[in-house]
Every structure is written in structure tokens, then in C-alpha cells.
């Protein structure tokens, strides 16, 4: 099945394995791309959790596949140092012939400029129309519509509400959130989405280097086990309640911080305070996700857990979804 997304990415299957911090690792990205879909590199995961540097991680991917891969640029203006490092990584990704970029959490203008100059495309993560309009004005080629069932930073709308809100912007739209099985996948394509980005489904694979307990918890969890917490980053992040420590459970970060988060002038300061406050927990969560020692902490996952019933190789998932899309088209 071909869509504007498959043409933009040069892949066979309208399916992405989304970027994931901390669990996106080179073997998973490569397995998804080799099977005909698009694996997205999360550079912070590659550089700090799995490979020691982005270059080493990209080299590992290239040992395993020559097919197209994508790169996730979180463009939030966190600090001058972060912006410098991210800019260097984007150039490194372009040098490594990556031509599909997924931007998130900020203004994609600079990435669009660099990537278009190299002949590539940029899809931008959005949760509502006003962000999509801004991104379109900055020249992005497509949108990744993050709905309220997504793993990672969740949106506020259902997949259908978001599609209806964005459809007249005349950009290809990829659905992100809530899809764990073929029926959900086909439903989203039939709704008009040009592709689907999944995260949680691909954590429950042997290629994803997380602890076995984390994979199993995804298989065993139901929708109601997923809760949103602002305590990690100041934005809603979906986590599995059973795998999370008390302090990471759903809830607001306290009256003062909640107020600061709502004010346009102070929201970045509040997010920085929260990031500092949760740094220890966040470090523990990265370790928990990759540790081989049964250390349990924060396990991120979306409501797509309801459609995930087995740990399976990434290629089997891609092939199964591809067959379902072909049957339906």
C-alpha cells in the first residue's frame, strides 16, 4: 500500500517505529526498517543510553540494514548547549544520508531549512491545529498527529478528532497513539491517515533492549493501567501504573509549579525546575529500562497496550500489519 508518507520516506509499509527515549536502540530501528517500515533514531537514546555516541549507533544500524531510517529532532529551546548539540547531530544524520526527519516540541524552522537544502523531508509532531498551522507555515512536509492514547508525551484529542481538525491543511498526516494491533492500524488508514507511528507495540519485541519485566508488563497491561503524569517533564507523559514508583504516579506537580506551567512566560522555567526535580528519578528510569538486573522503576507505555498480547520480532509485526493493510486496500 502506497501513501504520500511511503513516497516521502521511500519505504514499502506506511508504518513507523517512533523515536523512544530511553528505549529506542539501534537493533530495533534497523529491524523495523529492514522489514520495510521506517525506524526512527532517537539521538539521545543512541548517544547516552545504548551506543556511547550517535555515530556508533548509526554505524550499528548500517551494519544491519541499508534501507531508509529517520531521525528525531526534539527542537525545544532547552539551553544553548542543547541547541548546539542537536544541530551537530542533525548535520551528522544528514551526512549519514538520513533524509526523513521527525521534529517535536518546538519550532521546526531551522530543521526544515537544513533538511530541505539536502533534499529531505520533515514531519512535525502536533497535538492540535494551531501547532500544525504554525508548522505548515514553517514549511514542514507532513504532520505526526499525537493523540490522547499515545505513549510518550500524549495529546488531548482522539485520533478521529485530530484527523478531522487537521485534514484541510493539505499535508500527509501520520497517526501516533493507541494502535497496537492490525485492526486498529487498518482503521486509522481507512480514516485517511497516510501512516501510523507506533511506539509501545515495538517495545514488546526481542530487538528492543529493555528489561524482560518491562516487555511482559506491556503484554499484561490493560488500558486502565496507563496513567498520565506531569512529574517527569512538565507535560503529560503516559506510564504504566503498576511499574511506576509512588512519586511518578498520575497527578499534578504541586500548586505553584502547576500555575507556573500554565503561564506562557514561566512555563519554560517551570519545566526546567521539574526536570531538575525529577532528574534522579529520570536517571533511574533510563537505567530501569535498559538494566539487566530486574530494577523496576518508571515504565512508559501508551493505551495501545490493550492490543498487544505477545512479545514478537519487529519484522513479524511489520509483515503482519503490511498484510492487513494490503487486504483492506
Ligand X SMILES: Cc1cc2nc3c(=O)[nH]c(=O)nc-3n(C[C@H](O)[C@H](O)[C@H](O)COP(=O)(O)O)c2cc1C
Under the rule (CB under 6 A), what is the footprint of ligand X?
18-21, 23, 42, 72, 74, 104, 125, 146, 149-152, 176-179, 197-201, 300-302, 304
Distances 123 to 102, 176, 242 between C-alpha atoms, Å: 5, 12, 33
- By C-beta, is 21 or 131 nearer to ligand X? 21
Cβ nearer to ligand X, comparing 3 with 42: 42
Nearest distance in Å: CB 256, ligand X:
28
The four Cα atoms 322, 181, 168, 131 give a dihedral, to 10 degrees, of -120
Q: What's the closest the beta carbon of residue 265 comes to ligand X, in angstroms?
A: 26
Closer to ligand X by CB, 205 or 304: give it: 304
Q: Which is nearer to ligand X, 176 or 314 (CB)?
A: 176
The residues, ordered by sequence, that sit 6+ positions from 220 with a Cβ below 8 Å of its Cβ are none
Are 288 and 296 within 8 A, CB to CB?
yes
94 versus 198: smaller Cβ distance to ligand X: 198
Which residues partner with 198 through β-bridges?
A: 17
- What is the smallest separation between the CB atom of 255 and ligand X, expressed in angstroms? 28
d(CA 322, CA 189): 11
Alpha-helix residue ranges (DSSP H) falling in 181-243: 182-191, 200-203, 212-220
Angstrom distances, CA of residue 82 to CA of 57, 75, 103, 322: 19, 9, 15, 38
Residue placing its CB nearer to ligand X in the complex, 200 or 278: 200
Nearer to ligand X, 176 or 257 (CB): 176
288 Cβ contact partners less than 8 Å away, ≥ 6 residues apart: 211, 214, 295, 296, 297, 298, 299
Q: Which three cell numbers stand for residue 38?
A: 521506517
- To 5 degrees, how large is the angle CA 237–CA 288–CA 238? 15
CB atoms within 10 A of CB 41: 26
Least distance between ligand X and beta carbon 116 (Å):
20
Instruction: Give least dist CB 227 to ligand X, A.
Output: 14
Q: How far apart are CA 173 and CA 186, in angstroms?
A: 15
The minimum distance between CB 193 and ligand X, in angstroms, equals 13
Beta sheet of 237-240, edge-to-edge order: 152-153, 237-240, 226-229
Residue 294: CB minimum distance to ligand X, A: 19
How far, rounded to the nearest angstrom, does the alpha carbon of residue 104 sit from its chain's CA centroid? Answer: 9
Between 114 and 196, CB nearer to ligand X: 196
Q: CB 192 → ligand X: shortest distance, Å?
A: 18
Amino acid at each position: 500500500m502506497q501513501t504520500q508518507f511511503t513516497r516521502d520516506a521511500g519505504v514499502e509499509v506506511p508504518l513507523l517505529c517512533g523515536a523512544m527515549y530511553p528505549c529506542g536502540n539501534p537493533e530495533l530501528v534497523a529491524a523495523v526498517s529492514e522489514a520495510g517500515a521506517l525506524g526512527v533514531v532517537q539521538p539521545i537514546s543512541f548517544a547516552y543510553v545504548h551506543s556511547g555516541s550517535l555515530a556508533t549507533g548509526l554505524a550499528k544500524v548500517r551494519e544491519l540494514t541499508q534501507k531508509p531510517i529517520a531521525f528525531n529532532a526534539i527542537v525545544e529551546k532547552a539551553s544553548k548547549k542543547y541547541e548546539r548539540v542537536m544541530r551537530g547531530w542533525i548535520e551528522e544524520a544528514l551526512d549519514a544520508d538520513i533524509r526523513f526527519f521527525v521534529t517535536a516540541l518546538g519550532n521546526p524552522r531551522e530543521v526544515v531549512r537544513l533538511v530541505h537544502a539536502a533534499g529531505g523531508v520533515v514531519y512535525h509532531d502536533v497535538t492540535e491545529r494551531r501547532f500544525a498551522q504554525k508548522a505548515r507555515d514553517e514549511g514542514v512536509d507532513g504532520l505526526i498527529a499525537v493523540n490522547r492514547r499515545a505513549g510518550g508525551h500524549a495529546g488531548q484529542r482522539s485520533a478521529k478528532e485530530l484527523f478531522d481538525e487537521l485534514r484541510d491543511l493539505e499535508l500527509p498526516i501520520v497517526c501516533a497513539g493507541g494502535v497496537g494491533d492490525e485492526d486498529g492500524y487498518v482503521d486509522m488508514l481507512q480514516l485517511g491517515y497516510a501512516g501510523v507511528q507506533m511506539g509501545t507495540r515495538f517495545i514488546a519485541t526481542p530487538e528492543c533492549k529493555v528489561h524482560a519485566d518491562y516487555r511482559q508488563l506491556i503484554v499484561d497491561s490493560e488500558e486502565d493501567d496507563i496513567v498520565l503524569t506531569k512529574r517527569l517533564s512538565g507535560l503529560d507523559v503516559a506510564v504504566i501504573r503498576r511499574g511506576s514508583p509512588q512519586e511518578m504516579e498520575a497527578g499534578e506537580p504541586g500548586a505553584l509549579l502547576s500555575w507556573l506551567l500554565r503561564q506562557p512566560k514561566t512555563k519554560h522555567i517551570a519545566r526546567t525546575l521539574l526536570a531538575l526535580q525529577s532528574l534522579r528519578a529520570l536517571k533511574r528510569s533510563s537505567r530501569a529500562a535498559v538494566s539487566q538486573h530486574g530494577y523496576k522503576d518508571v515504565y512508559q507505555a501508551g493505551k495501545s497496550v490493550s492490543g498487544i498480547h505477545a512479545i514478537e520480532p519487529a519484522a513479524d509485526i511489520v509483515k503482519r500489519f503490511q498484510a492487513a493493510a494490503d487486504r483492506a486496500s
